[in-house]
């Protein structure tokens, strides 16, 4: 005999299933700057760490690394990836520990923090073609994903990748807004470093996007064993992070190659939607981001999730703007009250000098606030608060000082004739 199931049980079961599905998070570890000059000992340790964790990492390999200084744009010799370094990659790849993508050509600057942006199409094509030919020959397999140095590229780079048959571009969400709209390439931008991974996973959980992706970008210089400075990761802490990530029931670690084999959307439209989301004013305070569920700046969200949260973004932004206006009004009122009492500070001459100084301070604060806005229209909430306070103080001091000066003039007009009449009466 079949037992009856209470409808509420079915509802709870469905809700539980939705929660599990909504919490599915993909984490991709992207290790950059593997080359003929890179730290082989540290890279070998990283490979073994991923082997022990059972996860697969993406190694971003420079085919012809610069031979002099990477930030010197003048012509210099390059060093090709050696067979010794290629063997390490092949063996790890065959063990399922990593996959290989092409990281620029030589990682040498040709302009401000870029190797490719600004170069002619022909020059970019020759570099990318030559670099991929070397990697494909050494690895015995085609390389279909490209990672530009400093995550910088332009429209010509996209055209070269299309013409050479690349499948994916992994940079960041900065990119070139609009230039990728009609591009058939897949895009998988980085979102955080090792320090931001735990927070990014929490953001992804709050976003409840079943297609959420977190690309973790890291280098050998992130480790204290390579550079003995503060705020670096010890290798033991890194292994603990890998173990913690792998133990999360709602997290799966994949390489770029593994992710490309799935049906997840990595289209140009998804990148454009995330670029639009990232270009929204970034001065929403953390407590409002958490309140409205929009704190996911380190997570590559799906287009569907972004559209579902569009109203939440607008509400959080509107409330943030109201807070900024309130801060401005309070600062302006307080500054005006102080400035209006300049007359009690001493003699008339001293009061006039105080008015002049107040006007200068007001002008400086207003110019500083305007300069910050013009220099970078997208800034953090702390900077936005300072701009509101500066603008409020500037306007308040100016208005209060002007009002004080008008009061002085009015009193002078009223008192001087009265004094003259008094003197005439006495005479």
Q: What one-character-per-residue DSSP string does 24-89 give?
A: -EEEEEEEEEESTTS-HHHHHHHHHHHHHHT--EEEEE-SEEESS-TT--S---EEEPPHHHHHHH
Whether residue 323 is found in the same domain as residue 297: no
Q: Please give the pLDDT value at position 81.
A: 98
So what's the pLDDT on residue 18?
36
Helix (H) or strand (E) holding 197: helix 197-207
Q: What is the pTM of this model?
A: 0.75
- Mark whether 291 and 322 lie in a shared domain: no
- In a domain? residue 237: yes
pLDDT by residue (tens digit) across 366-398? 677 777 666 665 566 777 777 777 777 777 776
* Per-residue pLDDT at 11: 38
Burial bucket for residue 385 (CB in 10 Å: 0-12, 13-18, 19+) = middle
* Residue 115 within a domain: yes
User: For the residues of 258-317, what is the DSSP string, one character each?
Assistant: HHHTS-----HHHHHHHHHHHHS-----HHHHHHHT---TTSB--HHHHHHTHHHHHHHH
Number of domains in the chain: 2
Domain that holds residue 339: 315-426
Instruction: Give, in order, the Cα–Cα distances in Å from 312 to each of 51, 196, 268, 288, 307.
Output: 41, 24, 24, 10, 10
Which phi-psi region, left, alpha or beta, contains residue 353 (left: φ > 0; alpha: ψ -120 to 50)?
alpha
Q: Identify whether residues 52 and 188 lie together within a single domain.
A: yes
CATH code for position 143: 3.20.20.370
Q: Point out the residues of the chain with pLDDT beneath 50.
A: 1-23, 411
Q: pLDDT at position 102, please? A: 99
pLDDT recorded at residue 5: 40
Residue 2 covered by a domain: no
pLDDT given for residue 320 in this prediction: 81
- Residue 255 and residue 392 in one domain: no
Domain final position from 241, 275, 302: 302
Query: How high is the pLDDT of residue 416?
Result: 53
Same structural domain for residues 246 and 267? yes
pLDDT at position 17 is: 36
**Residue 4 DSSP label:** P
Same-domain status, 91 and 228:
yes
Q: Does residue 194 sit in the same domain as residue 225?
A: yes
Does residue 336 share a domain with residue 292? no
Residue 410: the pLDDT is: 59
Q: Return d(Cα 82, Cα 313) in angstroms, integer.
A: 49
């Amino acid at each position: 005999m079949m037992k009856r199931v209470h409808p509420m049980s079915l509802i709870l079961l469905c809700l539980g299933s939705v929660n599990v599905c909504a919490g599915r998070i993909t984490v991709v570890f992207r290790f950059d700057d593997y080359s003929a000059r890179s730290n082989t000992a540290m890279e070998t340790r990283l490979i073994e760490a991923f082997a022990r964790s059972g996860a697969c990492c993406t190694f971003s390999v420079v085919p012809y690394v610069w031979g002099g200084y990477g930030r010197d744009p003048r012509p210099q010799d390059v060093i090709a990836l050696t067979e010794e370094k290629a063997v390490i990659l092949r063996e790890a790849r065959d063990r399922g520990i990593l996959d290989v993508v092409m990281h620029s050509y030589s990682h040498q600057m040709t302009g401000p923090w870029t190797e490719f942006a600004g170069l002619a199409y022909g020059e970019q094509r020759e570099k990318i073609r030559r670099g991929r030919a070397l990697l494909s020959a050494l690895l015995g397999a085609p390389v279909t994903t490209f990672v530009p140095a400093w995550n910088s590229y332009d429209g010509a780079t996209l055209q070269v990748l299309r013409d050479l048959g690349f499948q994916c571009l992994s940079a960041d969400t900065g990119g070139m807004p609009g230039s990728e709209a009609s591009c058939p390439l897949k895009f998988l931008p980085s979102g955080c470093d090792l320090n931001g991974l735990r927070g990014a996973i929490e953001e992804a959980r709050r976003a409840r996007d079943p297609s959420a992706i977190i690309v973790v970008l890291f280098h050998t210089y992130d480790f204290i064993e390579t550079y003995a400075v503060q705020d670096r990761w010890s290798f033991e802490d890194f292994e603990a992070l890998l173990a913690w990530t792998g133990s999360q029931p709602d997290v799966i670690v994949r390489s770029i190659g593994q992710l490309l084999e799935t049906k997840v959307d990595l289209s140009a439209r998804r990148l454009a939607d995330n670029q639009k989301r990232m270009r929204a004013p970034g001065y929403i305070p953390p407590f409002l981001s958490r309140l409205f569920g929009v704190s996911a700046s380190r997570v590559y969200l799906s287009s569907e999730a972004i559209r579902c949260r569009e109203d939440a973004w607008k509400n959080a932004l509107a409330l943030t703007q109201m807070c900024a206006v309130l801060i401005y009004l309070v600062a302006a009122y307080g500054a005006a009250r102080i400035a209006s009492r300049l007359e009690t500070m001493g003699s008339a001459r001293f009061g006039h000098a105080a008015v002049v100084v107040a006007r200068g301070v007001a002008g400086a604060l207003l110019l500083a606030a305007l300069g910050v806005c013009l220099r970078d229209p997208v800034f953090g909430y702390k900077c936005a608060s300072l701009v509101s306070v500066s603008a409020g103080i500037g306007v308040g001091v100016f208005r209060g000082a002007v009002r004080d000066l008008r009061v002085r003039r009015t009193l002078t007009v009223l008192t001087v004739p009265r004094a003259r009449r008094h003197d005439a009466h006495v005479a």
